[in-house]
Structure 1
Amino acid sequence: MKMFLLLTKEKLLTLEKALRNYLPAAIKTYGTILNVNKGKIHDLEVVVDSWPDFNAVICRPGKKEEKYNPVAPTITVFSKDQNSLRRLLMDDNVVDWTTCFMFGGIDTSYFELVRDVAACKKFTVSFSNTCYAMILEDPKDLVDIISERADVASRISHLDLTHAQIVSRNWKFGNDTSLEFIENVIANFPNYCILDETDNPVSWLLSYNYGAMGLLYTLPEHRRKGYAKLLVATMVKTLQNLGYPIYCFIEEENDKSYQLFEKLGFKESPGIRFAWQSCRPFER
């Protein structure tokens, strides 16, 4: 008996509305579905355990033509019931347990479940990047930075594909395979940068395919000028106008970023942590 359902475009619109009732726990899944419905993501499939009363949601890579992809596929999940999520994860028709992949931004309360399922499938799981979810629930709470920095605001622009190299080089997780990812983010999702006198970016902020702000960076020689605050404030207004949730993930040890967003009006979602988990087959 088939225990899952692949959602159609019409059902995805209904799912988007339903997930609003489960924020902030569902925020990454909600942001992903939002971008699918906006036509910004074309290569994801969304699976639920039942419909319309779902308990678990999995966003997975769609079926593609066979070609080499250096980046591990990413799965996004949300669940109201761990047993329902377990059944979906155990189903080889839902999750491809023949290759390496990653759980992206998964609630840390699912750690044991994922570890148990992976062991059943003869996979190892490595955990990294445990993060706070920092959310600006009401854009009116945003501290006004733009009007204070009108001199710098005139130099705010957008990144283009020629800037992907510098973003990738300065990204903590940048590597030989990250350039294509950065190019996709720049081409398809909101981003801002501050240009110097030669029209080169010296500070930038992008947004991911799940709607979160990220990759915030300022070149060392241009720090302590308020550029990061200005870019966040600018991005907030854009995300608000586009109807996106306004949030970011901040690693637990990144005190500077935490304080930056807190000062701008963002608040940590209490009791919720998200992490990235890499899964790979046992070595034989």
Structure 2
Amino acid sequence: MMCQGEMLLKLASRIKEDLPFSSSVYNILLLHYRGHCNYYTFYQLRQHQDSHVVLYTSKSNKVGLYCKKDEVQLLEETLKTTPILDWSSNLFFFHINDYIVPIISKVALSISGRHIWSTPSTVFTFDASVDVKIKPRADVNVNLLGHTGVKVMYNSWDYNSSITEDEIQQQCLRLPAVGVYLNSETTGPANDSSAIDLDRIVRAPDENLPVSWVCMSTTGAMGLLGTQKEYLRKGFASMVAQTCTMLMVKEGYYPHVHVDEKNDPSIRLFSNLEGWKPSYLVSWVGLRSK
């Protein structure tokens, strides 16, 4: 049955018990409950309303699935019988926990005769009990992204065909989106004894250009992390990542990132950031043509 309104919050509260493994769907449920996005339609099982089985879909055949490890049989039965999914279409499953991927493969083959492809990623998660203090620097400011900052981030993203620039501009007005901006007017050394005050971070002027950026996306994870080439290895990616992390914690989200197994720079970054650790595996899954 479809979940709306308070049902989204109730479902989020239930699967919160499974963190970190439910991190993406937990955040997405909160985003929709709070009215910050409306990309997905959520479903839970009418006959098993206390289960943690969740299916959510978009108009573009993008599908999310979640269940606990001991519920995979229930999920398999659901996928075989639900009229919500058209297995003859180009379904695309995202952020799928590793123990669910074989179920998708089995059901796809039995119903449509099609094999799957999958791209695995490591999910790094943040321990919200860690109070990270982000030290300010004299040469830069840390701000919420302004219009130009969001535009730069969007244009540098390899997968921007999945969303319009206007959509991500609106998204970044509602969700944590952070940039590091050069501060040529500031003089003197940074105050190493202080920390960036999350309550006093302001939005950058729309025309200002960031040297590093990141945001929380409507897929629930932190992403789109980038730095201009001439400013690499200066610690700016760490600054934006940790600032965005603490803003997510402040707003009640569960910070996590999905890192491709071939993305060595991001693996090194999050392996060394305070409070972060690799937690579990997910995959992007699609159906091959016959």
TM-score range, shorter chain: 0.7 to 0.9
- 1:152 offset after TM fit, Å? 4.2
Tell me if structure 1 keeps the 8 A contact 2:14–2:52.
no
The one-letter amino acid paired with 1:210 is T
- 1:199 offset after TM fit, Å? 2.0
Alignment counterpart, residue 77 of structure 1, candidates 45, 48, 65: 65
Tell me if structure 2 keeps the 8 A contact 1:28–1:76.
no
Tell me if structure 2 keeps the 8 A contact 1:36–1:42.
yes
Alignment counterpart, residue 171 of structure 1, candidates 143, 153, 157: 157
- Cα distance in 1 for partners of 2:101, 2:245 equals 31
Moved more, 165-174 or 17-26: 165-174
- Cα distance in 1 for partners of 2:79, 2:249 equals 34
Tell me if structure 2 keeps the 8 A contact 1:159–1:191.
no
Alignment counterpart, residue 194 of structure 1, candidates 155, 180, 196: 180
SS in 2 for 1:239: helix
Alignment counterpart, residue 36 of structure 1, candidates 11, 32, 36: 32
The two structures, once aligned, show a CA RMSD in angstroms of 2.4
Aligned to 2:141: 154
Tell me if structure 1 keeps the 8 A contact 2:176–2:216.
yes
The one-letter amino acid paired with 1:120 is S
Matches within 5 A, 1:20-35: 20-35=16-31
Pair 1:137-2:127 in alignment: yes
TM-score using structure 1 length: 0.82
Aligned to 1:15: 11
- Cα distance in 2 for partners of 1:89, 1:121 equals 10
Aligned to 2:54: 57
* Aligned residue-pair number: 261
Gaps of 5+ in 1: 63-71
Gaps of 5+ in 2: 185-206
Does the C-alpha gap of structure 1 residues 20 and 152 become closer, same or farther in structure 2, counting only changes over 3 Å?
farther
Does the C-alpha gap of structure 1 residues 37 and 155 become closer, same or farther in structure 2, counting only changes over 3 Å?
closer
Does the C-alpha gap of structure 1 residues 104 and 202 become closer, same or farther in structure 2, counting only changes over 3 Å?
same
- Cα distance in 1 for partners of 2:30, 2:10 equals 11
- Cα distance in 2 for partners of 1:155, 1:23 equals 29
Pair 1:88-2:74 in alignment: no
**Percent pairwise identity:** 22
- Cα distance in 2 for partners of 1:77, 1:192 equals 29
Matches within 5 A, 1:160-239: 160=147, 162-174=148-160, 176=161, 178-180=163-165, 182-183=168-169, 185-196=171-182, 199-239=208-248
Aligned to 1:104: 94
